[in-house]
Amino acid sequence: MAVPPLDPLSQRRHRAPVLAGLLWATLCTAALAASPGPNDPHRGGKLRLLAAAGAGTIDPHINYTLQYGQIVQSVYDGLVAFRKAPGAQAFVIVPDLAEALPAPENGGKRYVFKLRKGVKFSDGREVTVADAAATFRRIFKVSGPTSGTFYNLIVGADACLKTPATCTLAGGVVADAKAGTLTINLTAPDAEFFQKLAFQHAVILPADAPAKDAGVTPIPGTGAYKIAAYDPKRQMKLVRNPHFRLWSEEAQPDGYVDEVDYDFGLNDEDQVTAIANGQADWMFNPIPADRLPELGAKFAKQLHISPLTAINYVAMNVRLAPFDNIKVRQAVNLAIDRNAMVKIYGGPKLATPTCQILPPGFAGYEPYCPFTKNPGAKWSAPDLAKARQLVKDSGTAGQKVTLIARDIAVDKQMGTYLQSVLNDLGYPTTLKLLSDTVQFTYIQNTNNKVQISLTTWYQDYPAPSNFLNVLFSCASFRPGSDSSINISGLCDKGLDADLAKAMATGIGDPKAAATMWTAIDRKVTDSAASAVLFNPNILDFTSKRLGNYVFSGQYYFLLNLAWVK
């Protein structure tokens, strides 16, 4: 297992400790990511997971939730995958069902993948190139949520997006059974193509998988586990895939536990209590704020804090009054006390205030905050005087505003705070709380005329375009659709041109592209279409018996690597 690259300067300064550390890190990382052998003393047992509710369909090409994204990575494989490892290694692409990462051909518009031999689905059938080709057609046939944004550059995708039922991807995806290869042709080079292929919506399914949402019926996969039973109101049960044979520890490590029981129905408070009492091993839902001091004091060894490449932000609709006025949006940005938001979220250990779209660590990230008392790199304090002046200049004070937030405890508190800020600025504000399951689609649909909403964005894959292009390009603004992820409705042709240029530059010159992303990040931040609040960290609470907790920034808590014996 590779070790995260070290900064050469620090290597020179601290050679001896670094060498010792390197050895230790190598051992640890190897231990962490190694799959269990048949005689491993940790192998076996049942991992018990909890969530307040199921997350709907278990069709991996359709489900677009973090909750089941964690399950998909243990049950299915794509041609390529993100490495199942902690830290920066989690964002490295490795071959999965493909034997190797192919070099781009035809100017970055063709990729020829050679499939591994002998890999079987959980029903015993061997994975073939026909399955892989059918998978890409299925992404469009089921109108997968990312079909139009991630896979639209495949030749033939336009026709498939127009008429999904008759999708052939002719000329776009070519299977050669004899050579065991799958060729994918693109209409234009795509610097993020491997990352998109590694995403859960491109996992390989059997060719005869239904060309519609499979709902609660599991589709066979190639991962270490298979879904044995699923009742979205009660439980999902994973058991070992009897046909799984290890082919790549870094892409799909074998699992330690024999069974994973994912129970639904307990609220977040009860989930915490169950884990504290040793009745469950891990919970999906965020830990309620009032339990944090107690857990931090009594269960420190069972808590795991990991940074997320994500933002919590306020989306302001630039097409609806009063937020169609940039002065109003700037005023909101200036008036929000981001420290207050961090406090609500659980304190500085769990979130870091920010003003910009790109999270730290992303290509092109340069700290930037124009909406603070002393504009510069970091947010320091709200500037209420300036905010009030902007509202006065805009002449919009007194206009009614409705703020939409989720009805979960943390969002309700943040919504109440924002309501107070907006009232303070002179906009009589109504706070409308919607169920967690509908709020995200509700705020996207322009028919609902949402003025301002509180939401979050977690990366699909680690690329700046996954924030800037996905959240703010004209292509992501689809009036009347529940999948209009450009919630602010910002559509600027100039910005679109910049985005396209940065993505194209990234293929051959990542450094130049990073500089472009920095400029785009500032441009979008300056537009004040959203008020970014903070970058959250994730806090996992695990049982006393759970060992080998490994967190991947891409897949989060890695189920396969955890043991309970």
Partner 1 sequence: MPAVPAPAAPQPPAAAGPWRSAAAKLTADRGALAAALLLMFIVVACLAAPLYAEQVSQTDPFRSNISGEIVVDGQARAVIEASTEGLGLGQTPIGPAWRARYLLGADNQGRDVAARLLYGGRASLLIAGTATLIGIALGAALGIVAGYFGGVVDAVLSRLFDVLWAFPVYLLAISLSIVTVGTGLHIGPLLIEASNPLLPALIIAGVGVPYIARPVRAQVKALRSSEFVLAAIGFGVPTARILRVDVLPNVSGTLLVFVPVMMALNMITESALSFLSIGVQPPQASWGSIIQDGLSLLYTRPVVALAPGVAIVLTVLALNVLGDALREVLDPQHRVKLR
Which span (211-219, 299-307, 438-446, 515-523) binds partner 1, by CB under 8 A? 299-307
Which span (82-90, 113-121, 197-205, 425-433) binds partner 1, by CB under 8 A? 425-433
Contact 502/316 with Cβ under 8 angstroms?
Answer: no
Number of helices and strands in the chain (H, E): 16, 19
Q: Is residue 276 near partner 1 by the rule CB under 8 A?
A: no
Q: Is residue 213 near partner 1 by the rule CB under 8 A?
A: no
Strand partners, 176: 181
Which of 85, 205, 292, 450: binder of partner 1 (CB under 8 A)?
A: 292
Contact 116/251 with Cβ under 8 angstroms?
Answer: no
Which of 291, 373, 392, 523: binder of partner 1 (CB under 8 A)?
A: 291
CA end-to-end span of the chain, whole Å? 24
Assign 276 to helix, strand or coil.
helix
Which of 80, 81, 328, 344: binder of partner 1 (CB under 8 A)?
A: 344
Which of 65, 339, 352, 380: binder of partner 1 (CB under 8 A)?
A: 339
Which of 423, 435, 447, 481: binder of partner 1 (CB under 8 A)?
A: 423
Q: Is residue 297 near partner 1 by the rule CB under 8 A?
A: yes
d(CA 293, CA 296): 5
Tell me how long the chain is. 565
d(CA 67, CA 53): 10
Which of 213, 258, 259, 424: binder of partner 1 (CB under 8 A)?
A: 424
**Is the bond preceding 95 in cis, omega lying within 30 degrees of 0?**
no
Comparing CB distances to partner 1, the nearer of 58 and 404 is 404
What are the Cα distances from residue 216, in Å, to 55, 60, 227, 399?
10, 11, 10, 46
What are the Cα distances from residue 382, in Å, to 161, 234, 375, 512?
45, 45, 10, 34
Q: Is residue 407 near partner 1 by the rule CB under 8 A?
A: yes
Radius of gyration of the chain (CA): 24
Residues 223-252 that bind partner 1 (CB under 8 A): none
Q: Is residue 397 near partner 1 by the rule CB under 8 A?
A: no
Residues 426-445 that bind partner 1 (CB under 8 A): 430-433
Q: Is residue 277 near partner 1 by the rule CB under 8 A?
A: no
Q: Is residue 539 near partner 1 by the rule CB under 8 A?
A: yes
Q: Is residue 307 near partner 1 by the rule CB under 8 A?
A: no
Q: Is residue 349 near partner 1 by the rule CB under 8 A?
A: yes
Q: Is residue 52 near partner 1 by the rule CB under 8 A?
A: no
CB of 409 to partner 1, least distance (A): 5
Comparing CB distances to partner 1, the nearer of 65 and 380 is 380
- Tokens for 302, please give them: 């069972």
Which of 107, 293, 367, 376: binder of partner 1 (CB under 8 A)?
A: 293
Comparing CB distances to partner 1, the nearer of 44 and 296 is 296
In this structure, the number of other CB atoms found within 10 A of the CB of residue 294 comes to 11
Q: Is residue 347 near partner 1 by the rule CB under 8 A?
A: yes
d(CA 60, CA 479): 26
Letter string b/e over residues 331-351, b meaning 16 or more CB atoms within 10 A of that residue's CB: bbbbbbbbbbbbbbbbeeebb
CB of 407 to partner 1, least distance (A): 8
Using a CB cutoff of 8 Å and minimum separation of 24, what contacts does 166-174 make? 167/137, 167/140, 167/141, 168/137, 169/133, 169/136, 169/137, 169/140, 172/136, 173/133, 173/136, 173/137, 174/133
In this structure, the number of other CB atoms found within 10 A of the CB of residue 28 comes to 14
Triad 309, 72, 270: Cα angle to 5°: 75
Contact 417/341 with Cβ under 8 angstroms?
Answer: yes
Task: Taking the CA atoms of 550, 556, 557 and 559 in sequence, report the sign of the dihedral they define.
Answer: negative
Which span (180-188, 197-205, 336-344, 555-563) binds partner 1, by CB under 8 A? 336-344
Comparing CB distances to partner 1, the nearer of 169 and 410 is 410
d(CA 10, CA 48): 42
Q: Is residue 405 near partner 1 by the rule CB under 8 A?
A: no
Comparing CB distances to partner 1, the nearer of 21 and 288 is 288
CB of 547 to partner 1, least distance (A): 20
CB of 300 to partner 1, least distance (A): 5
Which span (143-151, 295-303, 326-334, 550-558) binds partner 1, by CB under 8 A? 295-303
Judged by CB under 8 A, the number of residues near partner 1 is 39
Which span (3-11, 70-78, 230-238, 292-300) binds partner 1, by CB under 8 A? 292-300
> By rule CB under 8 A, what string of x and - marks binding of each residue 114-133 to partner 1?
--------------------
CB of 394 to partner 1, least distance (A): 22
Contact 348/520 with Cβ under 8 angstroms?
Answer: no
Which of 208, 290, 393, 509: binder of partner 1 (CB under 8 A)?
A: 290
CB of 487 to partner 1, least distance (A): 19
d(CA 95, CA 93): 7
CB of 335 to partner 1, least distance (A): 12
Binding-site ranges for partner 1 (CB under 8 A): 288-298, 300, 303, 305, 337, 339-340, 343-344, 346-350, 407, 409, 413, 416-417, 419-421, 423-424, 430-433, 539
